[in-house]
Amino acid sequence: MKHVLESVESQFEMFQILDENGKVVNKDAMPDLSDDNLKELMRRMVYTRILDQRSMALNRQGRLGFYAPTAGQEASQLGSHFALETEDFVLPGYRDVPQLIWHGLPLYQAFLFSKGHFHGNQMPEGVNALSPQIIIGAQYTQTAGVALGMKKRGKKSVAITYTGDGGTSQGDFYEGINFAGAFGAPAIFVVQNNYFAISVPVEKQTKAKTLAQKAVAAGIEGIQVDGMDVLAVYAATKNARERAINSEGPTLIETLTYRYGPHTTAGDDPTRYRTEELDNEWEKKDPLVRFRKFLEGKNLWSEEEENKVIEEAKDDIKQAIKKADGYPKQKVTELISHMFEELPMNLEEQMEEYKEKESK
Partner 1 sequence: MAQMTMIQAITDALRTELKNDENVLVFGEDVGQNGGVFRATEGLQKEFGEDRVFDTPLAESAIGGLSIGLALQGFRPVPEIQFFGFVYEAMDSINGQMARIRYRSGDTRHAPITIRSPFGGGVHTPELHADSLEGLIAQQPGIKVVIPSTPKDAKGLLISAIRDNDPVMFLEHMKLYRSFRDEVPEEEYTIELGKADVKREGKDVTIISYGAMVHSALKAAEDLEKNNVEAEVIDLRTVSPIDIDTILESVQKTNRVVFVQEAQRQAGVAAHVISEIQERAILHLEAPILRVTAPDTVYSFSQAEEVWLPNHKDIVEKVNEVINF
> What amino acid positions are annotated as catalytic residues?
259, 263, 273
By CB under 8 A, residue 156 contacts partner 1: no
Beta bridge partners of 173: none
Phi, psi angle pair for 337, to nearest 5°? -70, -15
By CB under 8 A, residue 100 contacts partner 1: no
Query: Cβ of residue 60: shortest distance to partner 1, in angstroms?
Result: 27
Q: What burial class does residue 343 get, using C-beta atoms within 10 Å of its C-beta: 0-12 exposed, 13-18 middle, 19+ buried?
A: middle
Query: Cβ of residue 108: shortest distance to partner 1, in angstroms?
Result: 14
Query: Cβ of residue 123: shortest distance to partner 1, in angstroms?
Result: 6
- Which residues, 6+ apart, have CB-to-CB distance to 135 below 8 Å? none
Q: Which of residues 169-188 bind partner 1 (CB under 8 A)?
A: 171-172, 175-176, 178-179, 182
Query: Cβ of residue 337: shortest distance to partner 1, in angstroms?
Result: 7
Binding test (CB under 8 A) with partner 1, winner from 89, 108, 196, 282: 89
Q: CB of 110 within 8 A of CB of 100?
A: yes
Give 89 or 282: the residue with its C-beta nearer to partner 1.
89
Q: CB of 13 within 8 A of CB of 254?
A: no
- Which residues, 6+ apart, have CB-to-CB distance to 211 below 8 Å? 165, 168, 191, 193, 202, 224, 254
Give 63 or 119: the residue with its C-beta nearer to partner 1.
119
Give 17 or 160: the residue with its C-beta nearer to partner 1.
160
CA dihedral of residues 127, 133, 138, 142 (deg, nearest 10): -10
Q: CB of 258 within 8 A of CB of 285?
A: yes
Query: Alpha carbon 86 to chain centroid distance?
Result: 16
Give 1 or 345: the residue with its C-beta nearer to partner 1.
345
Site string for partner 1, 120-139 (x = CB under 8 A): -xxx------xx---x--x-
By CB under 8 A, residue 94 contacts partner 1: no
Interface residues toward partner 1, by CB under 8 A: 89, 118-119, 121-123, 130-131, 135, 138, 140-150, 152-153, 159, 171-172, 175-176, 178-179, 182, 335, 337-341, 344-347
